[in-house]
Chains A and B, each alone.
Chain A
Amino acid sequence: MSEDLHRRAERLMIESRIAPIPDSELWWLDAHPEECARCAALARATEKTVQSLRSVPVSAPPSLVAAAQFRVHQRARELRRRQEAPVLAWLGAALSFAWIGMSGGYVWRGLEWAAGRMGIPNPIWQMAFGLWWAIPALAVAGIEPRDEHPGGCRGRDGHQPPHRDHHPISRLRESRCEAAGDELHPVDDTNRGSHPGLFCDRLHLLLPPAGPASTRLSTVRRDGERPL
């Protein structure tokens, strides 16, 4: 078998794992290793390399894991509150309307009487009665939970998260989070004494810390085992 065929097979093996290749070349590539032990071994090694890359072991220091878990639990509590809130709001509104319906006549007469005694002009006490009718709406507004971080990605303090100009991966992840309207929270890393990154609630993902674009990629393992 010619060297050119081996080289073609090797090239296609890698290219097919980077991006889709034409069907005709794919068929040839599938068939070739069956008759070429050398290329079959090469295909296995290439696949192993890709699998190793996909399973690059990464983890975070315990403090980061704890911070992330805390955020997850906090988010779960928020979601639970939001689920319960509409029921409470409707209940509050119903009670308010019922109370006003029952007491409206008495309140009208009471206000009219008091205004007459104190010489308060009609429009004033009638306006006060109007406010009385606004109680259900105010009750609903008081019960309805507000988004703690309106407007998409915000830091815990309600401001845009720090580290806007940092590594491209971080920027892309942040833009994905922002597009999804996620909240980003700075995460403390007490081992390092700094904010190592931002935590995205939806993705349960720690965004990388600030750094120049030339910062090198790495994986950090908790157990000290050497990554790929």
Chain B
Amino acid sequence: MSDTDCLLINSMEEDDALGRLPTLIREALLLRYREDMTLEEIARVVSAPLPTVKPRIYRGLEALRLMLEKD
């Protein structure tokens, strides 16, 4: 089993770039890019309306990019 096959849900350090994002946004980002889920799958998994998923990912990417640029 490779290291990347293990994803644990746990507490996250607040000073991590990803950890500073709101939970819902972080969750959507990881589901989209780490789990390669479609927007429909993410909506089903997080029990959220489909139109709310894309804005979450959008805001997350935007915020993460800004944070990475600052770092």
Contacts and interface: CB of A to CB of B under 8 A. Distances in A.
> Main SS of the interface on chain B?
helix
B68 A48 contact: yes
Given A209-B8, A216-B11, A218-B19, A46 B61 contact: yes
Interface residues of A, number: 51
B11 A172 contact: no
B30 A217 contact: yes
Given A53-B29, A54-B34, A220-B10, A59 B3 contact: yes
Interface size class of B (residues with CB under 8 A): 35 or more
A216 B9 contact: yes
Nearest to B23: A216
B5 A218 contact: no
Given A14-B62, A18-B54, A50-B61, A222 B3 contact: yes
A81 to B, nearest CB: 22
B11 A17 contact: no
A53 B33 contact: yes
Contacts of A196: 8
Given A59-B3, A171-B45, A222-B3, A197 B68 contact: no
A213 B34 CA distance: 18
4 closest cross-chain pairs (CB), A and B: A218-B12, A59-B3, A53-B33, A60-B6
29 contacts: A17-B61, A18-B32, A18-B54, A18-B57, A19-B39, A49-B61, A49-B64, A49-B65, A50-B33, A52-B68, A53-B18, A53-B33, A54-B34, A56-B30, A56-B34, A60-B6, A167-B9, A168-B45, A208-B8, A211-B9, A214-B23, A215-B9, A216-B11, A217-B9, A217-B12, A218-B11, A219-B7, A226-B13, A227-B16
